[in-house]
Amino acid sequence: MVVVSESVSVRSLTVRYGNTVALHDVSASFEPGTVTALVGHNGSGKSTVLQSLAGIVEPASGAVDIRHRRISYVPQRSDVNDRMAVTVGEVVAMGTWPRRGILGRASAADRRAVDEAIDRLKLTDLRSRRLAELSGGQRQRALLAQALVEHGDLVLLDEPTTGLDAEAREIINSVVDDEAARGAVVVMATHDADDADRADVTITLGRGEILSSTRRDRRFVGGGAHDGRLASGQ
């Protein structure tokens, strides 16, 4: 069980890629035990928020407060070289590397975590298959299984169900719910309206700014594209 009492947050975050502003003055808070969906058109800044939280991109200004949490980041499938000559079991086992290092020996607990993740993502029959031989949904499940093994208390998912069949979507959504239920902070970028509706909080981005933010039970902030931040104390 993850025990996290404080939220993860970004404050007045601005990110630039060359002369392009990807995020402008964005502030948001992500609570333990909840799923936050980031929605918006391509180029709205969804993936940049995730990559900022993951420490992949450096902000031009502002701050990211993650309090030294363990981070599990699952990128879009298009960002992964699925032609790597590795099996599903090897991909999932990579989730133990942050604990033991690439050359360290896997412990019994590591091996058990890999087995459990493969079982949860319904990959047992595919364990010896190479990543290149899998369907899109199967590859995405393998990447999510790797994240489960990492056992992060900040779980970042970039378009986890986009283009997948109903079975894969159901499996992934169940795991997402379980991760929040154990107390993790879960943040996912999605184009899928059903995924957004299932989330506890939905943040809509446009042109790198926050357009609106809603909880499942009530709307708690209004304002236009130039507001750029969530209400405090949400």
Looking at residue 98, its pLDDT comes to 84
Looking at residue 163, its pLDDT comes to 86
Alpha-helical segments (H) within the chain: 46-54, 88-93, 97-100, 108-120, 136-150, 166-181, 193-198
Coil/strand/helix, residue 175: helix
Looking at residue 78, its pLDDT comes to 56
Looking at residue 113, its pLDDT comes to 96
Q: What is the pLDDT along the chain (234 residues), one digit of tens a residue?
A: 444 457 999 999 999 999 999 999 999 999 999 999 999 999 999 999 999 999 999 999 999 999 878 999 999 865 566 567 899 999 999 999 888 877 788 999 999 999 999 999 999 999 999 988 888 889 899 999 999 999 999 999 999 998 898 989 999 999 999 999 999 999 999 999 999 999 999 999 999 999 999 998 643 433 333 333 343 333
- Alpha-carbon distance of 34 to 217, in angstroms, equals 13
Domains of the chain: 1-70+152-234 (3.40.50.300), 81-151 (no CATH)
pTM of the model: 0.87
- Alpha-carbon distance of 187 to 105, in angstroms, equals 31
Looking at residue 135, its pLDDT comes to 87
- Alpha-carbon distance of 2 to 150, in angstroms, equals 12
Looking at residue 229, its pLDDT comes to 37
Looking at residue 152, its pLDDT comes to 92
HSE (side-chain half, CA atoms, 13 Å) at 120: 23
Q: Spell out the residues 6+ positions from residue 136 whose beta carbon is closer than 8 angstroms to its own.
A: 77, 163, 164
